[in-house]
Amino acid sequence: MRKKPNIEKVIDKLAKEWLGKKGVISISDSEINGELCIVFFVNQPELERELYPSEVDGYKIIIKSSGKVVAHND
Amino acid sequence: MYINLVENIARALVWEKGKWRISKNATMVESLIGFYEKEYLKIYGVGLGGIYKMPKLEIYAEPEIPKREIKKAVYNILQVEIPLEIIDCKGIRTYQSVKVGDKVKHQNLQGYGTLGGFVDDIASPYRLAISNNHVFANCNRANINDNLVKLQPNIVFGGLYRFVPLKKPPYVNEVDAAVGWIYEGLNLVWRPRKPRKSGNAYRGMKVYKYGARTGYTEGIIKGIFAAPQVDYRPPLGILNFRRCLRIEGLNGPFSLPGDSGSLVVSKSGVVVGLLLAGEVTGAYSFANPFTIVENQLGVIFT
């Protein structure tokens, strides 16, 4: 089985490519059922799954709907 | 100087009809904060104690100085052996304090953030208050030594000491962090308790924070390499970050606007993050890894 690249490097690469495009506001690592995966948080009223990759470098891509991220001063 | 004050107090004690009593002309001298620290006796204050019919002179003195030495010195000054009690005292401090979770801000900032905690400068003996650049340094617009203000009640508690500049895209930021020096004499108070050390986070770690807006909340770290775009509003606009911790609240939002600058601490007392932003509805929050904050700011948690 092919060894997966480091998830931090994969996220850095995806961030350069995807952040700010097609509603992607953050990309994060996560763990689902003990398996490492990558989550795209997308600020779009209608999620169109096919706009985004389903797997990159062996990591499954999950798409989640999200509001925008704001600095937390009041 | 302390001799005059001891004498004034002692004159309040009058020997009359076989008893010591308080003179009708007695004046109380209290709260002589740190006044005598340079004297070899290390007396921090004097006062009238005892009960009404059995008054005595109280002397608040450093425990390491032998009590008989202090008594001897006082009797020499007064030329009379009055009732005297030496009370151990390691100094008297004001009750004004800055606390973790206080609402704080740079002097020109509209709004507020959180005083996260206290760290030590690597290059000096200063103990510093820590929060975000966008709280203490007004999004890069501040000058070193600008006033840092604590709200409710409003007091200037120190000045800006150092910050990591925030940079616009295409640059990718790693921290939003700043530290300030603190005026001497203020009590520094941790809430809910002082963490043990700083360290790294892992996915699944249970954490808490104490923020100025939502107080104590608990959460769980869901990601440790998150790359968010954070909206700082003009003039900075939207900034890119990498290697952030992504945290979800366990019972409602982990943070809301006003909590920026809170330290994120594991349930076992390890500081793992410095909170900076969150999803607009409070669904999740972002923090910078604390070890990176320490490196970039030149500070250390001890």
pLDDT at B49 over 60: yes
- Chain A's closest residue to B222, CA to CA, is A30
The Cα of A47 is separated from the nearest Cα of chain B by a number of Å equal to: 18
Residues of B in contact with A31 (CB under 8 A): 203-204, 222
CA atoms within 13 A on the CB side of B237: 5
Residue B14 confidence class, pLDDT cut points 50, 70, 90: low
pLDDT for B60 equals 80
Residue A37 confidence class, pLDDT cut points 50, 70, 90: very high
List the single residue in A27, A30, A71 with the smallest CB-CB distance to B277.
A71
Phi, psi of B293 (to 5 degrees): -60, -45
User: Bigger pLDDT: B40 or B121?
Assistant: B121
Residues of A in contact with B203 (CB under 8 A): 29-31
Find the largest Cα–Cα distance for chain A: 50
pLDDT for B75 equals 77
Mean pLDDT, rounded, of chain A:
92
Rounded CA gap, B89 and B86, in Å? Answer: 9
List the single residue in A8, A14, A72 with the smallest CB-CB distance to B278.
A72
Instruction: Please indicate if any CB of chain B lies within 8 Å of the CB of A33.
Output: no
Across B81-89, average pLDDT: 84
pLDDT for B74 equals 74
Rounded CA gap, B259 and A9, in Å? Answer: 30
Amino acid in position B284: Y
Instruction: Please indicate if any CB of chain B lies within 8 Å of the CB of A70.
Output: yes
Enter the pTM of the model.
0.77
List the single residue in A15, A28, A72 with the smallest CB-CB distance to B260.
A72
CA atoms within 13 A on the CB side of B82: 30
B180 and B299 Cβ atoms separated by less than 8 Å: no
> Which is nearest to B293 in space by CA: B79, B131, B156, B148?
B131
Q: What is the pLDDT of residues B140-190, one digit of tens each?
A: 999 999 999 999 888 999 999 999 999 999 999 999 999 999 998 788 999
Residue A1 confidence class, pLDDT cut points 50, 70, 90: low
Residue B67 confidence class, pLDDT cut points 50, 70, 90: confident
Cβ contact B226–A25 (<8 Å): no
Give, to the nearest 10 degrees, the angle between helix B67-78 and helix B2-11: 70
First to last CA, chain B: 39
Query: Tokens representing A62?
Result: 């999950």
Rounded CA gap, B286 and A41, in Å? Answer: 13
Cβ contact B277–A66 (<8 Å): no
Across A62-71, average pLDDT: 95
Phi, psi of A70 (to 5 degrees): -120, 150
B291 and B199 Cβ atoms separated by less than 8 Å: yes
pLDDT for B145 equals 96
The Cα of B155 is separated from the nearest Cα of chain A by a number of Å equal to: 19
Q: What is the pLDDT of residues B233-246, one digit of tens each?
A: 998 999 999 999 99
Q: What is the pLDDT of residues B184-220, one digit of tens each?
A: 878 899 999 999 999 999 999 999 999 999 999 999 9
pLDDT for B143 equals 97
Residues of A in contact with B283 (CB under 8 A): 66-67
Query: Tokens representing A20?
Result: 């700010």
Cβ contact B223–A19 (<8 Å): no
B253 and B289 Cβ atoms separated by less than 8 Å: no
A52 and A60 Cβ atoms separated by less than 8 Å: no
Based on the number of CB atoms within 10 Å of its own CB, is A3 exposed (0-12), middle (13-18) or buried (19 or more)? exposed
Cβ contact B226–A29 (<8 Å): yes
User: Which of helix, strand or coil describes residue B56?
Assistant: strand
Residue A65 confidence class, pLDDT cut points 50, 70, 90: very high
Tell me the H-state helices in B17-103.
67-78
Q: What is the pLDDT of residues B20-45, one digit of tens each?
A: 555 544 443 333 333 344 456 677 77
Instruction: Please indicate if any CB of chain B lies within 8 Å of the CB of A27.
Output: yes
Q: What is the pLDDT of residues B266-302, one digit of tens each?
A: 999 999 999 999 999 999 999 999 999 999 999 999 9
Rounded CA gap, B243 and B203, in Å? Answer: 13
> Which is nearest to B81 in space by CA: B149, B29, B10?
B10
Mutate to test the interface with A, among B202, B279, B288 (most CBs of A within 10 A): B279
Instruction: Please indicate if any CB of chain B lies within 8 Å of the CB of A51.
Output: no
CATH architecture of B97-300: Beta Barrel (2.40)
Q: What is the pLDDT of residues B253-266, one digit of tens each?
A: 999 999 999 999 99
CA distances from B238 to A68, B62, B229 (A): 10, 56, 6
List the single residue in A12, A29, A66 with the smallest CB-CB distance to B223.
A29
pLDDT for B95 equals 65
pLDDT at B15 over 80: no
B14 and B42 Cβ atoms separated by less than 8 Å: no
Instruction: Please indicate if any CB of chain B lies within 8 Å of the CB of A72.
Output: yes
Domain parsing of chain B, residue ranges:
2-88, 97-300
pLDDT at B58 over 90: no
pLDDT for B12 equals 57
- Chain A's closest residue to B238, CA to CA, is A70
Mean pLDDT, rounded, of chain B:
87
The Cα of A2 is separated from the nearest Cα of chain B by a number of Å equal to: 22
